[in-house]
Amino acid sequence: MRLHRSCCWLVAGLLLSLAPMVQAAGTLDKIRASRTIALGYRDSSIPFSYTGNDNQPWGYSVDLCIRVVAGVARQLGLEELQLLWVAVTPENRIAKLTSGEIDLECGSTTASLSRMQEVDFSLPTFIDGASYLSRRAAGIRRIEDLGGRKIAVAGGATSERTLVAALAQHRVSAEVVTVGDHQHGLAALLQGKADAYTSDRSLLIGLALDSGSQTDWAIGPETFSYEPYALMLRRNDADFRLAVNSVLARLSRSREIYEIYDRWFGHLAKPGARLDSLYYLNGLPE
């Protein structure tokens, strides 16, 4: 079995033409007929899903999706399966999924009840929570220090809603500035257009590590939310969801999931109690 890993931005017409087939026959039938699977990835959700120096997608969620694709290919008896990587953003990831442009989203998306009105999710893949990143010189050490400041947040992310709620709960008045993605948030900090950037803690750590000047940054001590990440797929496609979950469950049962974790987070810390429990609970029997 060979998996062809390639970025492709020129396949939208082909994928959209297959959208009626997706709805009528299901994702597995579409994959079997086309011998392709379209995976959505993020440009800058380090270390979950991002574009590397070789212009290829990399990250924790990307690794999980590659293993899912291998499992799907085995299930369908396909010797060759083409991977089509499609860049997505917080604003368009759901639309690209429901339209059939992508079959599975491999990013840092929180599984929420409101999103389940439009899409479905795999077993949880990670647990995180929202906080904020600021330059150490700004002197922001707790949420009250955000008063009167400008706080950037990616539009369409759950962090936007949780930030507003956290500010209201702590009676902090601040200006919320919407940006396109995490790299735009970091740029806003570097350019002085924002005093802090709000996102999930692991993503903030990734931004700080990738900045080239890790000691210049500080992450707030508070965690505002519960963010269970999962791979996003289309609604009402039980067969494909089962195929995805079968691979994720096997990774937990075999403890291979810890090797994937160590590759992307091992230099920071061991899995916490919540994540360790998640991996254990995900190990569903065959």
168 and 108 together in one domain: no
Taken as a whole, the chain contains a residue count of 286
| Residue keyed to tokens 């000047």 | 213
Q: Report the pLDDT averaged over residues 236-265.
A: 96
In a shared domain, residues 67 and 145: no
Whether 210 and 251 share a structural domain: no
Q: Could you tell me if 213 and 259 lie in one domain? A: no
Q: How many distinct structural domains can be found in the chain?
A: 2
Q: Domain check: are 28 and 109 in the same one?
A: yes
Are 84 and 10 members of one domain? yes
13 and 58 assigned to the same domain: yes
> β-strand 217-219 against 49-51: which pairing, if any?
unpaired
| pLDDT tens per residue, range 118-165 | 999 999 999 988 899 999 999 999 999 999 999 999 988 888 888 999
Enclosing domain of residue 62? 2-127+227-282
Which residue, 257, 238, 237, 261, is CA-closest to 247? 257
Query: Across all residues in the chain, what is the average pLDDT?
Result: 89
Spatial separation of the C-alpha atoms in residues 201 and 196, rounded to whole Å: 13
* Pairing verdict, β 44-45 and 49-51: antiparallel
For residue 268, name the pLDDT band (cuts at 50, 70, 90).
low
Interacting residues of 164 by C-beta distance below 8 A, sequence separation 6+: 176
pLDDT of residue 6: 56
Residues 175, 160 share a domain: yes
Which among 219, 245, 269 is the end of a domain?
Answer: 219
pLDDT band per the 50, 70, 90 thresholds, residue 244 = very high
User: pLDDT tier at 265 (50, 70, 90 boundaries)?
Assistant: confident
Last residue of a domain, one of 219, 235, 265: 219
**236 and 98 in a common domain:** yes
Residue 3 pLDDT: 62
- Whole-prediction pTM: 0.78
Confidence of residue 230 (pLDDT cuts 50, 70, 90): very high
